[in-house]
Amino acid sequence: MKRRDILKGISFLPFATTLGGNLIIPRKANAGKLPSGKRDLFKELGVRPFINAAGTYTFMTGSLMREEVLEAIRGTSEDFCLLDELQDRVGEKIAAMVHAEAAVVTAGAFSALTLGAPGVLTGNDPEKVKLLPKIEGTGMKTEVLCQKAHAIDYNHAFTNTGAKIIVIETAEELGKAINSNTALMHFLNIEADKGKIMHEEWVTIGKKHGIPTSIDIAADVPPVSNLWKVNDMGFDFVAISGGKALRGPQSAGLLMGKKEIITAARLHMPPRGANIGRGMKVNKEEIFGMYAALHHYINYDHDAEWKIWENNIALIENAAKSVKGVTTNVYVPKLGNVTPTLELSWDTSRLSVKDLQERLRNGDPSIEVMGRENKGINITVWVMRPGQEKMVAKRLKEELSAALA
Ligand SMILES: *Cc1c(COP(=O)(O)O)cnc(C)c1O
């Protein structure tokens, strides 16, 4: 059917009806019956759903949205509003929650960095906005400084703006690298302890030279206090993921910071189109969803949740170490993905990590765990649904004892 015919068809549909505000178009004029029961799209499409005992990984579709987030999305799904008005109002609310002057919902932490940097490069000049990513020779500053330990793949976010990344190691090298082309000094929280310059010194040096500072805290809640700690420290803009522990939409994140930077960053975002950010669109689903996620996260009983995580980890640990030859260790990463993490080790010449992963993957229910090369596996419980920890404990014990006992 041609597009024209489809459009023509819709205008003639006598049986088109609405259900909860959604337009339902019957397949045949007299076949308006809706499928009963819950539709299993995973099954229909032949996609394998699994219990995520690994963590918040993009390739595993991140995390699961909280019910409060889904409610916010559903509850606002039947009306339109102006995209900018919504970002204004939600931005004000979020900014107040995280001690920032301003905030905007972006398409993730990477997107927040890609948009925060041009907020610094172009200011509010609409002509400059159009020039990105060709900034050389325009009079715009072109260099983003970061420490060697902080030079990760995600810094490509800055390269997307046309900027160059200059890597330094010591405070002395930093001092020498700062020049009239320096646009930004970027810091990576998850590798903070691996760098030679810590947060406060980074911000102080930036302020001394009049260079804005930014920080990537994509995976750094919990603790919840990190949401405002870095803003209180004086970073000019901050990027965080919405789809990790915050459990908002996976395709959302936050850019928060100085008002002038956020205002300028928004010139690079939809609904405007002549910019580098048009392809990083978030709509009211992500914006309301992020607002609900953040509100819920900040008001949540984190101690109670932590106890549940510890109990669930202990349950799986006990099941695994009841198998002879399996050793366990529980630790909490100091930076990034701060959640109880169970390390399992055994003689991998008897059962390779890949084999165990395959067996868990192909079992019922399917389970994904994270491998540590061929040394063992790691397990987290923070994106599991209640009760799934029992299935993980049972399946792990079955497979480990079949191979090792
Ligand atoms: C996950 C992550 C990102 C990317 O975040 P998105 O929200 O997926 O764009 C960037 N930096 C770090 C350190 C991360 O862990």
Q: What is the CATH number of the domain that holds 390?
A: 3.90.1150.180
Q: Render pLDDT for 238-277 as a digit per residue (tens, 0 to 9).
A: 999 999 999 999 999 999 999 999 999 999 999 999 999 9
Q: Render pLDDT for 49-65 as a digit per residue (tens, 0 to 9).
A: 999 999 999 999 999 99
List, as one string, the DSSP characters of 270-333. Answer: TT--SSTTTTS---HHHHHHHHHHHHHHHTS-HHHHHHHHHHHHHHHHHHHHTSTT-EEEEE--
What pTM was computed for the model? 0.90
**Domain final residue, candidates 298, 326, 341:** 298
Q: Is the confidence at residue 6, as pLDDT, over 60? A: no
Averaged confidence pLDDT in the chain: 93
CA quadruple 225, 228, 229, 230: dihedral sign: positive
Q: Render pLDDT for 315-367 as a digit per residue (tens, 0 to 9).
A: 999 999 999 999 999 999 999 999 999 999 999 999 999 999 999 999 999 99
Q: Which structural domain range is residue 339 located in?
A: 302-404
State the pLDDT confidence band at 203, using cuts at 50, 70 and 90: very high
Q: Render pLDDT for 169-200 as a digit per residue (tens, 0 to 9).
A: 999 999 999 999 999 999 999 999 999 999 99
351 in the same domain as 214: no
140 in the same domain as 71: yes
AA letter at 249: P
Q: What is the whole-number distance in angstroms between the Cα of residue 37 and the centre of ligand 1?
A: 37
List, as one string, the DSSP characters of 197-261. Answer: S-HHHHHHHHHHHT--EEEE-TT--SSTTHHHHHHHHT-SEEEEESSSTT-S-TT-EEEEE-HHH
383 in the same domain as 240: no
**Domain final residue, candidates 258, 273, 298:** 298
State the pLDDT confidence band at 33, using cuts at 50, 70 and 90: very low
Query: For position 36, what pLDDT does the model report?
Result: 60
Query: For position 35, what pLDDT does the model report?
Result: 54
Question: Among candidates 245, 222, 268, 220, which has minimal Cα distance to 104?
Answer: 268
Q: Which atom of ligand 1 is nearest to the CA of 241?
A: 7
Provide the CB-side half-sphere exposure for 21 (13 A, CA): 7
Query: For position 38, what pLDDT does the model report?
Result: 84
**Angstrom distance (rounded) from CA 235 to CA 118:** 16
267 in the same domain as 306: no
Query: For position 60, what pLDDT does the model report?
Result: 97
Report the percent of the chain where pLDDT is more than 90: 90
395 in the same domain as 332: yes
312 in the same domain as 400: yes
Q: Ligand 1 pocket test: which of 241, 244, 256, 290 has the largest number of ligand atoms within 8 Å of its C-beta?
A: 241
292 in the same domain as 334: no
Q: Is the confidence at residue 41, as pLDDT, over 80? A: yes
Buried b (16+ CB within 10 A) or exposed e, 189-225: bbbbeebebebeebbebbeeeebbbbbbbbbbbbeee
| C-alpha 373, offset from chain centre | 25
Q: In this structure, what CATH number is given to the domain that contains residue 163? A: 3.40.640.10
Residue 117 lies in a domain: yes
Query: For position 55, what pLDDT does the model report?
Result: 97
Residue 129 lies in a domain: yes
Q: Ligand 1 pocket test: which of 59, 216, 254, 290 has the largest number of ligand atoms within 8 Å of its C-beta?
A: 216
Report the percent of the chain where pLDDT is more than 70: 91
280 in the same domain as 364: no
Q: Render pLDDT for 125-177 as a digit per residue (tens, 0 to 9).
A: 999 999 999 999 999 999 999 999 999 999 999 999 999 999 999 999 999 99
**Angstrom distance (rounded) from CA 95 to CA 48:** 39
**Domain final residue, candidates 298, 324, 343:** 298
150 in the same domain as 208: yes
SS3 109: helix
How many domains does the chain contain in total? 2
Q: Is the confidence at residue 89, as pLDDT, over 50? A: yes
**Angstrom distance (rounded) from CA 243 to CA 68:** 14
Ligand 1, atom 13, residue with closest C-alpha: 218
306 in the same domain as 212: no
At CA 322, angle to CA 321 and CA 327, rounded to 5?
A: 20
**Angstrom distance (rounded) from CA 47 to CA 44:** 8
259 in the same domain as 280: yes
Residue 46 lies in a domain: no
**Angstrom distance (rounded) from CA 347 to CA 115:** 47
Residue 39 lies in a domain: no
257 in the same domain as 308: no
Q: What is the whole-number distance in angstroms between the Cα of residue 206 and the centre of ligand 1?
A: 24
